[in-house]
């Protein structure tokens, strides 16, 4: 995503007016680690980060892909001494022959107003005219609260998560569920026989059971396609329309999609 910041960033909501402060990147793992862990479960796909991961992947002094970028800078929103409400990690680059660049590596916020404050801060950095955010979620709320979508442009979209369910039962029973569902899945897995065959999935917000059954299948699909739906970013109904799954009992796909639904689309900016 790119934002033209040669003019002020126009927003449809009021930014959070609590103070913003730059912190020493060496303090970031201690200050941000707990905040990140506390919000990580809100969006599927975000991995756990050890302190070494923060220091060796996110906060290295020199970027290995572009040595003209500045060292990392970390801005935090929240009253000093109070809880963190959001943060952004970014680097800058200035040239004589082009507008200065802000490369945003990560932005996390408790509320849309906090996100608006961080975006406005990034858009107002001196001697820069462009924000390039290389890895933002598809459902980033900035797309909606930016007042001028010509100023905020999506320049590319790419897959960043590949999953294979090695233990289907363990994965499904560990997952949370948005709505009740009771279906028989006929899962195809040509590599792991333990996953193969018909299983009754009985799930609700209270829990999940996944047991082998001889009952007729309501839905047949490959394990890779079940994995695609697991994080909530792909709908079973879309798989059926693509010819990748077969619905034997009408309504099964809709019921399973409702149960698998997550409030936010899966996303990660950690390369692994």
pLDDT digits (tens, 9 = 90+) for 91-149: 999 877 778 999 999 999 999 999 999 999 999 999 999 999 999 999 999 999 999 98
What does pLDDT average to over the chain?
94
Please give the average per-residue pLDDT across 32-42, as a whole number.
90
Lay out the sheet containing 20-23: strands in order across.
20-23, 73-77, 86-93, 101-109, 130-133, 2-4, 152-153
Question: What's the rounded Cα separation, in Å, for the pair 83 and 35?
Answer: 8
Sheet holding 219-222, edge to edge: 207-212, 197-204, 181-188, 219-222, 245-247
CA 201 centroid distance within chain: 26
pTM equals 0.91
Q: Which residues pair with 198 in a beta bridge?
A: 186
CATH of 2-153, picked from 3.40.630.30, 3.40.640.10, 3.90.105.10, 3.10.580.10, is: 3.40.630.30
Q: What is the pLDDT of residues 174-199, one digit of tens each?
A: 999 999 999 999 999 999 999 999 99
**Which residue ranges does the chain devote to CATH 3.40.630.30?**
2-153
- Please identify, in words, the CATH class of the domain defined by 168-260: alpha beta
96: its two tokens: 């004589």
Q: Where in the chain is the domain with CATH 3.30.1050.10?
A: 168-260
Query: How far, in Å, CA of 149 to CA of 3, rounded?
Result: 9
% of the chain at pLDDT higher than 70:
100
What percentage of residues in the chain have a pLDDT greater than 90? 86
pLDDT band at 39 (very low <50, low <70, confident <90, very high): confident
Task: Say what the pLDDT of residue 50 is.
Answer: 93
């Amino acid at each position: 995503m790119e934002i033209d910041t040669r003019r002020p960033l126009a927003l449809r909501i009021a930014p959070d007016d609590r103070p913003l402060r730059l912190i020493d990147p060496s303090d970031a793992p201690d200050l941000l680690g707990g905040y990140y862990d506390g919000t990580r479960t809100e969006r599927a796909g975000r991995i756990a980060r050890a302190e070494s991961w923060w220091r060796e992947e996110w906060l290295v002094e020199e970027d290995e892909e572009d040595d003209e970028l500045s060292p990392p800078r970390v801005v935090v929103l929240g009253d000093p001494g109070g809880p963190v409400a959001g943060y952004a990690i970014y680097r800058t680059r200035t040239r004589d022959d082009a507008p200065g660049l802000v490369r945003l590596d990560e932005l996390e916020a408790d509320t849309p107003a906090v996100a608006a404050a961080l975006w406005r801060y990034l858009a107002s950095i001196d001697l820069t005219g462009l924000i390039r955010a290389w890895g933002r979620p598809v459902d980033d709320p900035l797309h909606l609260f930016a007042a001028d979508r010509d100023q905020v442009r999506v320049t590319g979209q790419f897959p960043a998560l590949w999953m294979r369910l090695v233990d289907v039962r363990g994965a499904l029973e560990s997952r949370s569920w948005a709505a009740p569902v009771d279906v028989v899945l006929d899962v195809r897995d040509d590599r792991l026989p333990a996953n193969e065959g018909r299983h009754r999935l009985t799930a609700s917000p209270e829990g999940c059971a996944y047991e082998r059954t001889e009952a007729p299948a309501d839905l047949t699909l490959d394990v890779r396609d079940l994995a695609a739906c697991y994080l909530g970013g792909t709908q079973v109904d879309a798989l059926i329309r693509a010819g990748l799954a077969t619905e034997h009992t009408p309504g099964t796909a809709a019921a399973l999609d409702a149960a698998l639904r997550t409030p936010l689309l899966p996303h990660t900016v950690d390369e692994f």
